[in-house]
Amino acid sequence: MTGRSINDRRVAHAGICRMQVIQHPVERLRAALVSNRQDLIDCYQKYSREERRLLEEGLHPDSPLFSPITLHSDSDWISSHPEAPQDFQSFYSNPYRSAPIKGRKTIYIQTIGSFGSAEALTEQYVSWLRDYCEAFYYGLVVKLLDPVTVSATGCAFRVNNSTHNLQIHAGDLLNFLKKRKPKDAFCIVGITMIDLYPKDSWNFVFGQASLTEGMGVFSFARYDDNFYSRCYKGRLQKGKSPKQGDYSVFTGYYTPPITSTLLLRSCKTLTHEIGHIFGIKHCQWLQCVMQGSNHLEESDRRPLDLCPICLRKLQSVLGFKMADRYKALLQWIEPGSLSKEQHTSTQTVANSAKPTQAFEDSRQWLQKCLCILEDEIF
Ligand SMILES: [Zn+2]
Ligand SMILES: [Zn+2]
C-alpha cells in the first residue's frame, strides 16, 4: 500500500462565526474509551484504579481536565472534513496500522536546513524537540540524524507566487528521507523551517506523510507570527527568481526567531504528525492534540496533550505507566530541567534557557493529572 499519504492542509480563510460545542453523550464516550469487546474491556480493567480515574475524567461533562471540542467556524477541521470518528476499538483492530516492534523502536528526526541564525541554535532547538518527543512517546528512543542542508536533499524548490517566500517540494524530501531511514527506525520525520509545497498547483502544505512507509516531513515556517504579514522577512525581493538547482538562495535565508510560542507549536505539530504514523486518526471526541486543524488559530486552540481515548490508543502500543509519561513531560517543561545534550555538552550554547513560558497551562494541567494518578486531591 505504498503511496497512501496524508496532507495536513490548512486553509486560511475566515468562516462565518458559529460556535458549536460537540458534546458526546457519556455512554458514547465510555464505549469509545473502553470498547464493547470483552477482551478489550478486560484489558481496560488492568489499568490501576488511579489510571482509570484519570481516563474517566474525560466522561464528565464539566471535567476541569478534558473539555468538549468547540467549533468556532465553518472553516474548522471537523466542519470541513466529515469523517467517522475513530474509537479505541477501531484503532486497536486496524490491521494496517504500524506499531514499533522489536528492533524498530526508534523515532529519527532529520533536520533540513537551518533553524536559527546560528548553527548551534539549530542543534539546541532540535534537541528540545527530541527530548519532548521522547517524553511524549514514552518508552521509545528518539534520535537526531545529522542535520542536512537543503541542497543535500536535491529537492526541487520555488518561490510562492502570492507570499513570495521560498518553498521546497515535500515529495522530494520524502524520497530523500526514504533513503536515509535507518534499519532500526520505527519512523523518520523530517523537519524544516522552510515552507513546503506538494505539487505545482498547490499553494502550500504544512506537512506530508506516508503512513505505510513510516515517514513524514513537516514545516514550521508558517508558525512564525509574521508569516502572513507584509513585513515577513522570508519574502524574496520582487523579480528575484532563483534557478532550479542553484541552492545558494538558501544560504542565509530567513528563519523564524526561536520563541516559546514557536517551540510550543513545533512540539504540537511533531507529536500530532507522529501520532498519525502510529495510526491515530484525527480526534473528534474531546479537546486533544490529535484534533485536525485547518488553520493556525485552530491549531493554537488544541491542547498540547492527548484526550483519554487517544491516550489509551498510545498506551496500548507503548505500554507505559501513565504517571511516568506525565512526569517526563512535566520535567521537560519545568525550568531548570536539562536536555540530554545539555548534560553532556560543554558548548556555551547549552546555557541558553529553554523558552517554556507558553507551556504554563500545560504544566498546570500535567500537575493535576499527576495528582489524580498519585491519588491526591487537587
Ligand atoms: Zn493531522
Ligand atoms: Zn483524542
Instruction: Please tell me the distance between residue 242's alpha carbon and the centre of ligand 1 in angstroms.
Output: 32
pLDDT value at 105 more than 90? yes
Cα of 246 vs centre of ligand 1, distance in Å, is: 33
Ligand at minimal distance from the CA of 292 is: 1
Q: Which residues lie at CB < 5 A from ion ligand 2?
A: 283, 288, 290, 307, 310
> Rounded CA gap, 297 and 308, in Å?
23
> Where does the chain have alpha helices with state H?
26-34, 38-45, 49-57, 77-80, 88-92, 119-136, 150-153, 170-180, 260-277, 296-301, 308-318, 322-333, 340-344, 360-373
Spacing, Cα 239 to ligand 1 middle (Å):
35
Topology of the domain comprising 5-9+99-264: Collagenase (Catalytic Domain) (3.40.390)
Kindly identify the ligand whose nearest atom is closest to the C-alpha of 305: 2
Q: Which of 51, 134, 213, 273 is catalytic?
A: 273
- Per the CB < 8 A criterion, the answer to whether 294 and 10 are in contact is yes
Ligand nearest to the CA of 87: 2
Name residues whose C-beta falls within 8 Å of residue 268's C-beta, 6 or more positions apart in sequence: 289, 299, 302, 304
pTM: 0.89
DSSP class per residue in 96-148: T----BTTB-EEEEEEES-SSSSHHHHHHHHHHHHHHHHHHTBTBEEEEEEEE
Å from CA of 164 to ligand 2 middle: 36
Quote the crossing angle between the two packed helices 322-333 and 360-373, to the nearest 10°.
150
Query: What pLDDT shows up at residue 377?
Result: 59
What's the gap in Å between 87 CA and the centre of ligand 2? 9
Quick one: pLDDT at residue 336?
A: 61
Residue with cell 500535567: 366
Residue 273 bears catalytic tag: yes
Q: What span, in angstroms and rounded, lies between the C-alpha atoms of 110 and 145? A: 5
Query: pLDDT for 223-238, tens place per residue?
Result: 988 888 888 888 887 7
* pLDDT > 70? residue 286: yes
Q: What is the arithmetic mean of pLDDT over 91-106? A: 93
Ligand (nearest to CA of 211): 1
Mean pLDDT within 128-134: 97
From residue 189, give the alpha-carbon distance in Å to each of 102, 122, 126, 300, 371.
20, 16, 12, 22, 34
Helix (H) or strand (E) holding 188: strand 185-192
Q: Which of 79-88, 113-122, 296-305, 367-376 has the lowest mean pLDDT?
A: 113-122
> What spacing in Å lies between the alpha carbon of 231 and ligand 2's midpoint?
37
Q: Which helix (H) or strand (E) holds 157?
A: strand 157-159
Amino acid at 324: D
pLDDT > 70 in the chain, percent: 88
- Ligand minimally distant from the alpha carbon of residue 268: 1
271 contacts 289 by C-beta, under 8 angstroms: yes
Indicate the average pLDDT of the chain.
87
Bigger pLDDT: 215 vs 345 = 215
Q: Rounded to the nearest 5 degrees, what angle is found at the Cα of 279, between the Cα atoms of 219 and 156? A: 30
Comparing 70-79, 171-180, 314-323, 357-366, the range with the smallest average pLDDT is 70-79
Give the Å distance between the CA of 347 and the centre of ligand 2: 39
Per-residue pLDDT band at 10 (split at 50, 70, 90): very low
The mean per-residue pLDDT over the stretch 292-314 comes to 91
Ligand 1 centroid vs 266 CA: distance in angstroms? Answer: 13
Q: For position 188, what pLDDT does the model report?
A: 98
- Give the mean pLDDT of 337-347: 47
- Domain residue ranges of the chain, discontinuous segments joined by +: 5-9+99-264, 17-96+281-373
* Cα of 302 from ligand 1 centre, angstroms: 12
